[in-house]
Structure 1
Amino acid sequence: MARVSPARPDLDRVLRTLRGPWARLALLGVLLVVAVVLALTVDRPGVPAVRGWLDSAGPGSWTLLVLATSLAMLVPVPRTAVSVLLGAAAGFPAGLGVAVAGGFLGGVAGFGLSRVLGRDAVARVAGRRLDRAERLLADRGFLAVLTARVSPLPFVLTSYAAGLTGLRWRPYVLGTAVGVVPGSVLHVAVGASLISWL
């Protein structure tokens, strides 16, 4: 008869704990702290740096700029500032395309991260208190997301908070896709017009 190591049950329990909702929520918290530290310590590029990079990096630079913009939407960097910078550096049409695409991708990524890493733990803590919000979001999820996206609420906060609820993907994605456009148009236009004054 094979002898079972007494350490094995402890290892199984540790692995179950690490895969559990609290460990995922803790991981989300760590990622958010890292994001805040990066947002506060990393030098953000100015208009001349972004313009120079776009000119020298070739056509692939636009894809990288969309990805960089979407990553910026995962940290507490004001979306308004990013959009104004894009307008000033790339002009209105290109800046608008990058702002909308990057905002959309970043918003969806933030929702997904929060959903995967934090939703189960929040549901356990909130229990039945979350039911009312869940019903409201089930009926009016698109409108709730659209309203949040055109309001002055921080973009990153809206993405992560929505992911912690039971909001379905479809209304979130559609609300974000439509909701990023008005602010992007306004802020990119401001950035593009500022450059003509300088």
Structure 2
Amino acid sequence: MKKNKQKILKIALGILFLAIILVVIYKIYSLNLGSEEIKNYVQGFGKIGPLVYIIMFSLVPLTLFPDSVLAIAGGLIFGLFKGYIYTTIGALIGGTISFYISRYWGREVVKKLTKEKLDKVEEMINNRGFIIIFILRLIPLLPYDVISYGAGLTAVKYKDFLLATLFGTIPGILVFTNLGAQTVNIGSNSFYISVALLILLFIISIFFKNKFISKELKNDIK
């Protein structure tokens, strides 16, 4: 009898968790997709707002919603420090979801989710693992989720994937959350500095993209 109750409880919790995921995904799509709208939505949850934000960021791989918009919203809602922490947690969870979806469900499922060609990403990561994932994470011009899905199709260890993601996303997350945090000070020196840092990030990204990513790869994952 106890086992049956435990099974029913697990099923109920699973259904509840799935329902929460579906509601959040629906809200991501139904919002006007702007930082202010996301801010109002998250703040509407009060004290559990940070958890809702992390869940939203974690589910980005299933929606292909722009990571940068959510990261800017994170800075706007929570400020630079907390925004960076919550965004990083969400990014790592989201990357992990993508990684294991492709690792356990395979290429066909990933193709349907991303509509991208992953052969070159897969080949590069297979050859050089950690360092390639790290370099790719430094380039916000490349789709975050495609890199995660591509890594899951390779033999790279999850630990290497996670560490490369953690360290490689530091500049991008810092710049985007800082931009969000400074939008409350539009016209101030700190705001203009945040915009300058964003421009610098994209210039460096273009350099890394041209330096380390082949033309063939660029064509595949535009």
Q: TM-score, normalised by structure 1?
A: 0.65
Larger radius of gyration: 1
Q: Does 1:70 align with 2:58?
A: yes
RMSD (Å), alpha carbons: 3.1
2:70 corresponds, among 58, 71, 82, to 82
Is 1:43 the counterpart of 2:43? The answer is no
CA distance in 2, matches of 1:155, 1:164: 15
Q: Does 1:158 align with 2:128?
A: no
CA contact (8 A) 2:126 2:154 kept: no
1:170 to 159, 179, 185: 159
Q: Which residue of 1 aligns with 2:129?
A: 141
* Structure with more contact order per residue of length (Cα contacts < 8 Å, sep ≥ 6): 1
Partners of 1:101 and 1:78 in 2: CA distance: 17
Letter in structure 2 aligned against 1:178: F
Cα distance, 1:71 vs. partner? Answer: 0.7
* Alpha-carbon separation, structure 1, partners of 2:26 and 2:39: 23
| Structure 1 residues 26-57: Cα deviation after superposition (integer angstroms, max 9, x where no partner) | xxxxxxxxxxx979953245444444444442
Quick check: 2:99–2:152 contact (8 Å CA) kept in 1?
A: yes
- Counterpart residue number, 1:27: none
C-alpha distance in 2, partners of 1:75/1:121? Answer: 14
Q: Structure 1 74/145 Cα, relative in aligned 2: closer, same or farther at 3 Å?
A: farther
Tell me which residue corresponds to 1:191: 180
Partner of 1:96: 84
How many angstroms does 1:73 deviate by?
3.8
Name the aligned partner's letter for residue 113 of structure 1: I
CA deviation after TM superposition for structure 1 residue 161, in Å: 1.1
Give the Cα separation in 2 of the matches to 1:195 and 1:185: 17
Match of 2:13 in 1: none
1:180 aligned onto 2:184: no
Which amino acid counterpart does residue 149 of structure 2 have in structure 1? Y
Q: Deviations over 1:73-117 (max 9, x none)?
A: 443222222211211222212211121111111011111111111
Structure 1 residue identity aligned to 2:91: G
Is the contact made by 1:87 and 1:188 (CA closer than 8 Å) also made in structure 2?
yes
Kept after mapping to 2: 8 A contact 1:74/1:107: no
The answer to whether residue 106 in structure 2 is matched with residue 118 in structure 1 is yes
Q: 1:13 maps to which residue?
A: none
TM-score, normalization: structure 2? 0.58
Q: Which runs of 5+ in 1 are unaligned?
A: 1-36, 123-129
Shift of 1:58: 3.0
Identity %: 25
Q: CA deviation at 1:166?
A: 1.9
